[in-house]
Amino acid sequence: MLYIGIDLGGTDIKSAIVDENCNILAKFQQPTLVNRDYKEIVADMAACALKSLELANLSIDDIASVGVGIPGIADNKTGRVIFCTNLFWEDIPLAQELQKYINKPIYIDNDASVAGYAEYLAGVSKGTDSSVFITLGTGIGGGIIINGKPWSGFHGVGSEIGHAPLNITNGVPCTCGNLGCVERYCSATAIIRMAKEALSKDNSSMMLHMADNDLNKINAKIVIDAAKIGDKLALEVFENYTYYLAKAIIMIINIIDPEVIVLGGGVSKAGDYLLDAVNKKIPQFLLFKKCKYPQLLIAKLGADAGVIGAALLGM
Amino acid sequence: MLYIGIDLGGTDIKSAIVDENCNILAKFQQPTLVNRDYKEIVADMAACALKSLELANLSIDDIASVGVGIPGIADNKTGRVIFCTNLFWEDIPLAQELQKYINKPIYIDNDASVAGYAEYLAGVSKGTDSSVFITLGTGIGGGIIINGKPWSGFHGVGSEIGHAPLNITNGVPCTCGNLGCVERYCSATAIIRMAKEALSKDNSSMMLHMADNDLNKINAKIVIDAAKIGDKLALEVFENYTYYLAKAIIMIINIIDPEVIVLGGGVSKAGDYLLDAVNKKIPQFLLFKKCKYPQLLIAKLGADAGVIGAALLGM
């Protein structure tokens, strides 16, 4: 059987036709154009999906179900999107509206959850008993896979690892209104903030040169590239960042202890350089030093993870 | 069918015969007497279990399986205890040794996990989709129930909520060697520490009177009783404590989001007084203020939770 996957983002709607072996037979994408009535966006999601179907030379009869990953909180039981900041959605009957165009069973879940599910089905965590997927991007997303299924919580508000508190006193203010969330220490945004703070006290770092002497051009890649070639300030920032990331991973180990923890998102492109730095710091924080603990891996499906994981929610 | 449950503690071995409706037909307990060879302790565990069986007027043929809750890290797949601080056990073949005396399938898990499982099977979280059990005692134990089964992690080191980091900078030193663990802010020990710190600066509190003017007699009950009758210093300590507990609960909500969160252990005896104080603080820290979130409940099985949950691991 075949499945339609839709990855609804703040910038683009992506769709794909996916087979049960996680192969993409065809895919299509178009702009989301937020600031429209949700019904218009859902009509475009359906059109985008049907375009993929057409590109694959298939008919709707070949499709078993449709899955949608959304950048927010979904209630898969009711098919409603509870909350979706980027799209300004609140309590939207997504499944019901989408079924007007595609009359198939519809499954919805958080985008990081479905990306983690895709890595479990077809990526780096394939075949594992349990995994936690962490996207290190502008923000931090999380996907928890237990017993072969994504776990986004009973109310759909779980796996929001980026907003677990990591610092209850003197925490960095978070966009969510709280202090000290994981996201403020472990996202690409956090590296950039730490680099800018460091550069404001010491402007001799080559990071500044790599950013054309423009602090606004500092990004995570510049910091990591500068650290790799031995820039002292960049190394300091990278050491602090990987210390915080190790602490967030210890939180995941001490609470969930999955078989593997998968790092995705922009910062994960640093690959082994990132893994090595974090792996060096984890053992000292383990509760039981002699016990086995989750292996850290870098995600491998990249941008396709969203549509693959969404498609196979119905498998 | 009937099941034997054994709750192995640092002080006592408790056993019970439990039916499939979670009723205890008979129970027995005897001292653990640590500092002995593990084989002697396991022989006593078997004797304790067989004594329960005798008290219930039953034979071993009536028993389907034996379950054991241990105060440490268990690998249920191999039947080995990986680590157990209080008993000085490291990599002990518990199931294999116990089977020499009782030749039935043997299941082992962490004691807080089985207590949480008991609350799910027969207690306050009965019938829920998912729950997290937190014991607020000398330390902090955790039990996670997802899809009707205890989840103690792939390597057996999960659900150790007490050692998730809650403060990465200037954290209170923990017995585990790390800084800022949840246990240092949310256990009965934490209340006592905070009360002693407060009393060292202001000795006019009635807490001191209630403790016979002996700081060493301060306990969580004294602090909470004094807070209830309006003692200013005790109220301050209780407010700080419930602030920290609310933050730890937010961590659980943002990561796991179970249907309910169950509080057990000594501090939970404060009942509604505790729930009210924590429930007042949670909404301000929620990531999505309008979303539903886990209900907080007080455990109801008390000291029997350990044997009931252990017994029914094999159900």
Q: What is the pLDDT of residues B244-297, one digit of tens each?
A: 999 999 999 999 999 999 999 999 999 999 999 999 999 999 998 888 999 999
Query: Which residues partner with B132 through β-bridges?
Result: B144, B261
Q: How far apart are CA B161 and CA B155, in angstroms?
A: 15
- State mean pLDDT over B107-111: 95
Q: How far apart are CA A290 and CA A274, in angstroms?
A: 24
Return the half-sphere exposure (C-beta side, CA atoms, 13 A cut-off) of residue A255: 30
Q: Look at B250 and A73 and tell me if their CB atoms are within 8 Å.
A: no
Inform me whether the C-beta atom of residue B185 falls under 8 Å from chain A C-beta atoms.
yes
pTM score:
0.92
Give the minimum alpha-carbon distance from A211 to chain B in angstroms, rounded to a whole number.
30
Inform me whether the C-beta atom of residue A294 falls under 8 Å from chain B C-beta atoms.
yes
Q: What is the pLDDT of residue B175?
A: 86
From chain A, the residues in CB contact with B158 under 8 A are 253-258
Q: Do A204 and A179 touch, CB atoms closer than 8 A?
A: no
From chain B, the residues in CB contact with A295 under 8 A are none
- Mutation for testing the B interface, residue in A89, A145, A287, A290 having most B CBs under 10 Å: A287
Q: How far apart are CA A287 and CA B140, in angstroms?
A: 13
Phi/psi class of residue B91: alpha, beta or left (left: φ > 0; alpha: ψ in -120 to 50)?
A: left
Q: What interhelical angle do B188-201 and B232-255 show, nearest 10?
A: 150
Residue B228 has φ and ψ, to the nearest 5°, of -60, -35
Q: Look at B254 and A167 and tell me if their CB atoms are within 8 Å.
A: no
- Is the pLDDT at B97 greater than 90? The verdict is yes
Give the minimum alpha-carbon distance from A42 to chain B in angstroms, rounded to a whole number.
22
Inform me whether the C-beta atom of residue A82 falls under 8 Å from chain B C-beta atoms.
yes
- State mean pLDDT over B111-140: 95
Q: Look at B155 and A251 and tell me if their CB atoms are within 8 Å.
A: no
Q: Do B132 and B116 touch, CB atoms closer than 8 A?
A: yes
Query: Which residues partner with B74 through β-bridges?
Result: B81
Q: How far apart are CA A305 and CA B228, in angstroms?
A: 53
Give the minimum alpha-carbon distance from A285 to chain B in angstroms, rounded to a whole number.
6
For A151, the closest chain B residue by CA position comes to: B256
Query: Which of B40, B257, B234, B26 lies closest to B130 in space, CA to CA?
Result: B257
* Residue B311, C-beta contacts closer than 8 angstroms, at least 6 positions apart: B3, B4, B5, B16, B17, B18, B66, B67
- State mean pLDDT over B151-158: 92
Strand order from edge to edge, sheet including A149-151: A149-151, A140-146, A130-136, A260-264, A295-298
* Residue A142, C-beta contacts closer than 8 angstroms, at least 6 positions apart: A112, A113, A116, A132, A133, A134, A135, A159, A160, A161, A162, B255
Q: Look at A254 and B161 and tell me if their CB atoms are within 8 Å.
A: yes
From chain A, the residues in CB contact with B113 under 8 A are none
Inform me whether the C-beta atom of residue B190 falls under 8 Å from chain A C-beta atoms.
no
Query: Which of A149, A174, A148 lies closest to A161 in space, CA to CA?
Result: A174
Q: Look at B251 and A251 and tell me if their CB atoms are within 8 Å.
A: yes
* Residue B258, C-beta contacts closer than 8 angstroms, at least 6 positions apart: A153, A154, A158, B128, B129, B130, B131, B132, B144, B145, B146, B252, B294
A103 compared with B156, residue with greater pLDDT:
A103
The angle formed by the CA atoms of residues B93, B96 and B97, to the nearest 5 degrees, is: 80
Q: How confident is the model at residue B121 (pLDDT cuts 50, 70, 90)?
A: very high
Q: What is the pLDDT of residue B169?
A: 79
Residue that the structure tokens 């040169």 belong to = A209
Inform me whether the C-beta atom of residue B239 falls under 8 Å from chain A C-beta atoms.
no
Q: How confident is the model at residue B176 (pLDDT cuts 50, 70, 90)?
A: confident
Q: What is the pLDDT of residue B83?
A: 87
B83: nearest CB among A157, A176, A290 = A290
Q: What is the pLDDT of residue B217?
A: 96
Inform me whether the C-beta atom of residue B43 falls under 8 Å from chain A C-beta atoms.
no
Q: How far apart are CA A133 and CA A141, in angstroms?
A: 8
Q: Look at A157 and B291 and tell me if their CB atoms are within 8 Å.
A: yes
Q: pLDDT averaged over chain B?
A: 95
Q: What is the pLDDT of residue A289?
A: 85
Phi/psi class of residue B177: alpha, beta or left (left: φ > 0; alpha: ψ in -120 to 50)?
A: left
Q: How far apart are CA A186 and CA A278, in angstroms?
A: 12
Q: How far apart are CA B56 and CA B165, in angstroms?
A: 45
Q: How far apart are CA B132 and CA B233, in angstroms?
A: 31
- Mutation for testing the B interface, residue in A70, A140, A154 having most B CBs under 10 Å: A154
Q: Do A120 and A145 touch, CB atoms closer than 8 A?
A: yes
**Please, which residues 131-160 of chain B have a Cβ atom closer than 8 Å to chain A?**
142, 144, 146-147, 151-160
Flag residues of chain A having pLDDT under 70. none
The DSSP element (H or E) to which B2 belongs, if any, is strand B2-8
Structure tokens at A86: 């980027």
Pinpoint the alpha helices (H) of B127-187. Answer: 183-186
